[in-house]
A and B are shown apart, each in its own frame.
Chain A
Amino acid sequence: MHMHRLEKVWLSIGVSMLAVFLLILGVMTFGQGMAPPNKHVNHIDPTKVSETAPFDQPQIKQIGDNEYEAVMVAYAFGYDPTPMEVPVGSKVNFKVTSSDVVHGFQIPKTNVNVMVTPGEISEVSHTFDKPGEYLIICNEYCGISHEMMKTTLVVK
């Protein structure tokens, strides 16, 4: 197929930029461990969340120096446990599942943003370096009071 010389130049620049861009994404994903949520970390029967450990006791607990694990259940329309509190500088590993429909799990002002799908367990971690009351909200439409679905994490 015939192509104009300028078009070849234009496409070469575009395609090279694309290659660099994808390479960076790939290195970040596979080399630096900055991947989006992965395959089945764990399964759970979505109808038996309240009887299945550890989700039978949603809680936030210390698991190391400055490290916490938050085991959470998202449901229409809220999260358990609520509210939560950790000291400044803590790393929190969130483990979230849903006991009904699909929910979101977003903490504005951070990069924490995962889907919570029934039957799957979503895992995401974040280190809270600044004090404040962090909002945790559902960002996937889940029913009539979706906009009410929230909890908070207080960082002191």
Chain B
Amino acid sequence: MNTTFDRKDGRLVLAHIFFAFGALLIGGIAGMLQGMVKGGTITLPANIGYYELLTAHGVLMALIFTTYFIIGFLYSGVSQSMGGSLLPLTKRLGWIGYILMSIGTLIGVVVILLGKASVLYTFYAPMKASPYFYIALALVVIGSWLSGFGIFYHYAKWRKSNKGKLSPLFGFMSVITMLLWQIATIGVALEVVVQLIPWSFGWVDTINVVLSRTLFWFFGHPLVYFWLLPAYMCWYVIIPKIIGGKIFSDSLARMSFILFLFFSIPVGLHHQLMEPGVNHFWKYLQVTLTFMVVIPSLMTAFSLFATFELNGRSKGAKGLFGWVKVLPWGDVRFFAPFMGMLIFIPAGAGGLINASNQMNAVVHNTLWVTGHFHLTVATSVALTFFGIIYWLIPVITGRVLTPRMNRLGIIQTLIWCIGMFIMSGSMHTVGLLGSPRRTAYNTYDDHPDAILWMPYHVAMAVGGIILFIGVLLIIYNLISMMRAPKGNTEYPIGEVAEEAAPTPRYMENWKLWITITVILILVAYTIPILDMLNNSTPGSPGYVTW
């Protein structure tokens, strides 16, 4: 394995990481202000609206921060684990993808700031944004496709020149992640290109609203797995190396990723449980498929803790839980992702509640849901991504992580956990009391039910301010690491334990996995979508209600 990271590849990776953290900073400012408005502690200057902040926060955090970070991280690991450098075409695709995504982001931000697209990051029709908002989104998606093609190309070439060899786990997982993304984004691409853009330009008068929502959620749910899988890659492949242990089982890791590919796409209707226009048989079927992701999640939990325990015992830990003590709690590269794992337990349990058919009525569109995804993506995923930069930046720049930076990293992680505990905890609670999500400050004429929500909204603002301090600290840490002392840092790619059984060949039978994925999608979506296309519900004209 290479000891130094390819310099040209490093530039591409850094470009992605910096763009991601730039989005995190701006999105963080928007998020904090939004929390303070909602809490009733400030009113914004006349020309900034709550919903513009909300749109900016959602788009920058959920779409831009995540996508850029993920592509940067995957490219780094592909370069490292499959040949030591990216193939020229892969690198070119990566840069073209980066430029397209960045042009899209900039256009999108301008259109949002001009107030032409206060439609939030779900942009539900028939609220009609400027066509340039939709074009901006299309550019981001197309850019990410090109980056994905780069990874597929690199992987295919690697396999051709390493006939008979098992592909590196990191590369395999990168391919699954991007494959999931390519298939999922077909839904939103169809919505944007076939429905929204022509309608927004006025080439067609009306839009099929239920169909547009369905195409959006065809993408919207796998999106969360697109965030999660790279975090899982860190947990499966990187963390064992950081703690000085081994990967529990290569084949289990691959199988869990394959199951995520199967069960993350044909499930979007569970976001539409509370709306008419879809037969409840199909809703129930997709709820069932949604719950199937419990299986790879349990496999992952088992594998990770098996790694921790085996490693602890090999270091002489005794007793049922003695191995907990020997984990490197003082190492931010372990501590931040580990807190992410831990928080994923309540986060995942909350997800089961949300997807539970009838139980969804209790929480649908309340702040409970906002609390839920601030645990999943904004804590489990975000803390893992934060943990990654403490070794990725030193690896790429040929520097070392200093004890001071490590300590600041631990502090940043703790700040994040405390802020999120307060914010997400209040969101969950007040959501159960009925407070709606995505709603600016209002006491509903001082209605007693709404007055009861107010202290929780204030607590959310307090949590938001603490989290913003966390954002500032991670940005400071990122910049400081660029100036850390020179030195050699190894890219921490884990090795598989010797006791683990060899990985069966069929794990890389892509035709089989893609066929099963497509069949599941066809089973879950064909009839509901045909219903939507054939029903006689008249379409909707567009409205600008902001």
CB distance A35 to B358 under 8 Å?
yes
- Complex: chain B residue closest to A107, CB-CB: B434
CB distance B362 to A143 under 8 Å?
no
Given the complex of chains A and B, what is the CA–CA distance between A86 and B356 in angstroms?
32
List CB contacts (< 8 Å) of B270-319 with chain A: 272-280, 283-284, 287-288, 291, 294-295, 298-299, 302, 306
List CB contacts (< 8 Å) of A71-85 with chain B: 76-77
Contacts of B45 in A (CB 8 A): none
CB distance B357 to A43 under 8 Å?
no
- Complex: chain A residue closest to B298, CB-CB: A14
Contacts of B120 in A (CB 8 A): 141
Residue in A40, A47, A77, A147 whose CB lies within 8 Å of B276: A40
The contact string, 1 if C-beta is below 8 Å from chain B, for chain A 130-143, is 00010101111111
CB distance A7 to B274 under 8 Å?
no
Give the number of residue pairs across the A-B interface with Cβ within 8 Å. 213
Contacts of B433 in A (CB 8 A): 108
Residue in A4, A101, A138 whose CB lies within 8 Å of B127: A101
Let me know if B546 is at the binding interface, CB within 8 A: yes
Let me know if A53 is at the binding interface, CB within 8 A: no
Let me know if B543 is at the binding interface, CB within 8 A: yes
For the side of the interface on A, what is the size category? 35 or more
Contacts of B210 in A (CB 8 A): 117, 119-120
Q: A25-B287, A29-B284, A101-B126 are in contact. Are A76 and B545 (CB under 8 A)?
A: yes
Contacts of B536 in A (CB 8 A): 43
The contact string, 1 if C-beta is below 8 Å from chain B, for chain A 1-33, is 111101100110011001001100110111000
CB distance A43 to B535 under 8 Å?
yes
Residue in A47, A77, A137 whose CB lies within 8 Å of B444: A137
Closest beta carbon of chain B to A119's beta carbon, Å? 4
Contacts of A14 in B (CB 8 A): 294-295, 298
Residue in A22, A102, A117 whose CB lies within 8 Å of B288: A22
Let me know if B12 is at the binding interface, CB within 8 A: no
CB distance B209 to A25 under 8 Å?
no
Q: Is the interface of B mostly helix, strand, loop or mixed?
A: loop
Let me know if B531 is at the binding interface, CB within 8 A: yes
Contacts of B531 in A (CB 8 A): 39
Let me know if A121 is at the binding interface, CB within 8 A: yes
Q: Which of B362, B438, B501 has the most CB of A within 10 A?
A: B438
Contacts of B255 in A (CB 8 A): 1
Q: A106-B436, A135-B447, A139-B437 are in contact. Are A117 and B284 (CB under 8 A)?
A: no
CB distance A122 to B545 under 8 Å?
no
CB distance A36 to B277 under 8 Å?
no
Residue in B275, B442, B539, B541 whose CB lies within 8 Å of A37: B275
- Complex: chain B residue closest to A32, CB-CB: B358
List CB contacts (< 8 Å) of A59-78 with chain B: 76-77
Contacts of B54 in A (CB 8 A): 141
CB distance B436 to A47 under 8 Å?
no
Let me know if B41 is at the binding interface, CB within 8 A: no
- Complex: chain B residue closest to A136, CB-CB: B444
- Complex: chain B residue closest to A105, CB-CB: B274
Let me know if B508 is at the binding interface, CB within 8 A: no
Q: Which 5 A-B pairs have the closest CB atoms?
A: A143-B545, A108-B434, A2-B501, A139-B436, A115-B275
Residues in B lying within 8 Å of A, measured CB to CB: 49, 51, 54, 118, 120, 124-127, 209-210, 213, 249, 251-252, 255, 272-280, 283-284, 287-288, 291, 294-295, 298-299, 302, 306, 352, 356-358, 360-362, 364-366, 433-442, 444-445, 447, 449-450, 501, 504, 531, 535-541, 543, 545-546
Residues in A lying within 8 Å of B, measured CB to CB: 1-4, 6-7, 10-11, 14-15, 18, 21-22, 25-26, 28-30, 34-41, 43-47, 76-77, 100-102, 104, 106, 108-109, 111-115, 117-123, 133, 135, 137-144, 146-148, 150, 152
Query: Can you list 5 A-B pairs, Cβ within 8 angstroms, ordered by A?
Result: A7-B302, A22-B291, A100-B543, A115-B272, A135-B444
